[in-house]
Homo-oligomer: A and B are copies of this chain.
Amino acid sequence: MNTPTISSSNCDNCPIRHRAVCARCNADELVELDAIKYYRTYEAGQTVIWSGDIMSFVSSVVSGVATLTQTMEDGRTQMVGLLLPSDFVGRPGRDGAAYNVVATTDVVMCCFRKKPFEELMERTPHIAQRLLEMTLDELDAAREWMLVLGRKTAREKIASLLSIIVRRGASLTPNSIGENVVFDLPLTREAMADYLGLTLETVSRQMSALKRDGVIVLTGKRHITVPNMGRLLEEAGDDSDGGYLV
């Protein structure tokens, strides 16, 4: 395992301090959380959690990208969550994991022992409030995703995924002001296919098509430049304003 060293057990320097499940906690509450927390690291490709596992912890993604997937008996796989820094993993009150969690890049997790975390939640409204807020956001994201899966064409699906990654990464890579948006795909073609309910061949073909049509510029396989974000949003079939204030 790479660099298991945890430089900051200190929440003050934590990159997700004000966005994760602990966002609303005050100093006293952080002390309580600190007592039940530990860090774990995972290498790219490693499975963090197997569906059905008994979970002894819940956790927050500190850095890196992981996926939440569901698999049918015959192997068909659907991604049901894309876990970026600050996202929460696990369900308080449930023992078994419902999904597979796989690290797609090297990942650092901030884990809380489950039992004490649940007890802490009982008497710390700040945690439960934040978790409710985050869960409602995830539910909205899942519903937007359902529209993508159910009603969009392959080309629109790809454009939607790229838009979502840009939107979610905006806070991480603060260069989304000008026209040119640049980012690295944290997913393989296969993972993109699992996200979008497509085959990896169709993903590849549509990526090539968007490239050919000048919607995106591909440098290597993963480095992407979007010359015109409005155009990408059009291709995604979304309202051209992106749904948020312009």
Contacts and interface: CB of A to CB of B under 8 A. Distances in A.
A140 interface: yes
Interface in A136-169: 136, 138-140, 142-147, 149-152
A73 B140 CA distance: 19
Contact of A143 (B70, B74, B93, B133): B70
B196 A147 contact: no
A145 B147 CA distance: 11
Interface in A101-160: 125, 128-129, 131-133, 135-136, 138-140, 142-147, 149-152
A139 B142 contact: yes
Nearest to A198: B150
Nearest to A99: B143
Nearest to A69: B147
B136 A128 contact: no
A11 interface: no
A39 to B, nearest CB: 25
Interface string A75-105: 0111011000000000101000011000000
What is the copy number of this chain in the assembly? 2
Contacts of A91: 136
Contacts of A125: 125, 128
Contacts of A230: none
Contacts of A131: 132
A237 interface: yes
B128 A72 contact: no
Contact of A139 (B76, B133, B139): B139
Interface string A46-80: 00000000000000000000001010111011101
A57 B162 CA distance: 35
A197 interface: yes
Contacts of A152: 76
A93 B133 contact: yes
Q: Which 8 A-B pairs have the closest CB atoms?
A: A150-B197, A80-B143, A149-B149, A142-B142, A78-B147, A78-B150, A76-B151, A149-B150
